[in-house]
Amino acid sequence: MVRKLQVAVSGLGRMGARHALHFLERTPRAELVAAFDPSPEAQAWGKQHLEPYGTKLYTDYDEMLKHPGLEAVVVAGITTEHAAQTVQAIEADKHVLCEKPLSTKVEICEGVLEAAQRKPHLKVLCGFSRRFDASYRDAFAKTINGEIGRPTIMRSQTCDKFRDDDYFVKYAKFSGGIFVDANVHDIDLALWFFGQDSIVKSVTAVGVTARYPDLKQYGDVDNGVAIVEFWGGRVAYFFSSRMMMAGQQDTTEVIGTHGKITINANPAFNLVEMHELGGVRREVDQTYYDRFEQAFVTESNEFTECILDDKELPFKLSGAIQAVKIGCAMVESLQTGKKLDFDETGAQIKEEKARL
C-alpha cells in the first residue's frame, strides 16, 4: 500500500473547513489525521464531517502538533495567528501550508521566513491560490514561452461582491487594509510574471470609501487604485473594490511588447446564457471560492506531492513576504497621500533626499 501524507488542519472556519475537506476528500495522497479549532461550532462541524472519516479533533494546538505521525500542518485560522502557528509547527518539525497572508506586518513575516530558513528540509508554503489556478498557469506558460514578448505592464484587480452587512468593516480591523488583503494577490502575480527579483521603484495608492464609510476609522477604503513601478521598465497597476454588484471579479491582463494576455476578463459563473427581455445575460462567480475552488484543490495536492516526492515548491516563501511588503507600502502611500520612491536596491528614498 502507498504511503499517504499525514496532515492536520488548524482552524475550521470557512476557509479552514474547506481546506480540511480538500485534504480529506480531494487529495488522494494525503490523509487528514487531525484538526484543531477550539470553538464549539467548529468542533460540532468537525464531529459531523471529519471524525467519522478518521480525523481526530483537537481543542489545543500544541496537542495537535504532537499527533502521532503528523507530518504537515495547514494553518488556516484567523490571520493574526498565522505567523505564530506557522513558526510553532516549523519548530515541531512539520511542513506547513499557511493561508495568506503570513501576517499583515512585514517584520512578522520575516520572522516566519527566518524560522523556515532554519529548517531547510521542511516545505513551507504560503497559499497564494492564484499560483495554482489553471488559467493563470496557462497564461504564465504562454508568457514564458514568449507569446507576448517581454511582459511590461500588468493590470490586475481583486474585487469582491458588495455585501449588505458590516462584514467588510469588521474584517478591516485585522485584514491589513484592502491593499494587503485583496491586492496582495495581484502584487504576487506581478512578481510572478515580472520576475520574483523585481525591484520596486515607486508605489502610489489612493482610495475612497463609497459604500462603507465606517472603514475610515481603520484607515481603510472600499475602492483602491495603485501603481507600482519596477526598476527595469515595468509597471503594475491595481484596483480593488468591495462593491461589485454582479459578483466577484478578479481580472488580470499582462501587456507584453508583442501581445497581451488576459485572465478572466469576461467572468462567468458557468456556461449558461439567458436571452431575455433586456438582452443577453450571464451570471458571474459570487465569491473568491467560486472562482478559485479548483486552485485550492490543486494547492493541496501539490503541497502533498512536493513533500512526499521531495520536490521543490512551486514558489518561494520569500516571495510571499515581498508581496506583503509592497502591499504595506501601498497602505502607507494611501494613508500619507505620498508617492513612495525606492532606489535600485529597493531601499526607500526618504523625503529629505527625494526632494532636494
Q: Which residues make Cβ contacts (< 8 Å) with residue 318, sequence separation at least 6?
A: 113, 196
Residues 60-119 that bind a second copy (CB under 8 A): none
Q: Measured from the CB atom, is 61 or 192 closer to a second copy?
A: 192
Quick check: 129 binds a second copy (CB under 8 A)? Answer: no
Closest distance to a second copy from the beta carbon of 122 (Å) = 26
Quick check: 261 binds a second copy (CB under 8 A)? Answer: yes
* DSSP, res 133: -
* DSSP, res 231: T
Alpha-carbon gap, residue 58 to 35, rounded angstroms: 6
DSSP character string of 309-339: TTPPPSS-HHHHHHHHHHHHHHHHHHHHT--
Closest distance to a second copy from the beta carbon of 140 (Å) = 10
- Residue with cell string 492564484: 130
Nearest by Cα to 34 from 3, 12, 2 = 12
Q: Are 222 and 209 in contact (CB under 8 A)?
A: yes
Query: Of 145, 266, 345, 350, which lies in the binding site for a second copy, with binding defined by CB under 8 A?
Result: 266
Query: Of 93, 173, 273, 311, which lies in the binding site for a second copy, with binding defined by CB under 8 A?
Result: 273
Compute how many residues bind a second copy; rule: CB under 8 A: 80
Quick check: 260 binds a second copy (CB under 8 A)? Answer: yes
Nearest by Cα to 117 from 325, 321, 348 = 321
Closest distance to a second copy from the beta carbon of 283 (Å) = 4
Closest distance to a second copy from the beta carbon of 137 (Å) = 9
Alpha-carbon gap, residue 58 to 64, rounded angstroms: 6
Residues 180-219 that bind a second copy (CB under 8 A): 202, 204, 206-211
Closest distance to a second copy from the beta carbon of 355 (Å) = 6
Q: Are 181 and 230 in contact (CB under 8 A)?
A: no
Nearest by Cα to 322 from 86, 120, 110 = 110
Quick check: 40 binds a second copy (CB under 8 A)? Answer: no
Q: Which stretch binds a second copy (CB under 8 A): 94-102, 174-182, 233-241, 323-331?
A: 233-241
Quick check: 163 binds a second copy (CB under 8 A)? Answer: no
Closest distance to a second copy from the beta carbon of 262 (Å) = 5
Q: Which stretch binds a second copy (CB under 8 A): 5-13, 105-113, 265-273, 316-324?
A: 265-273
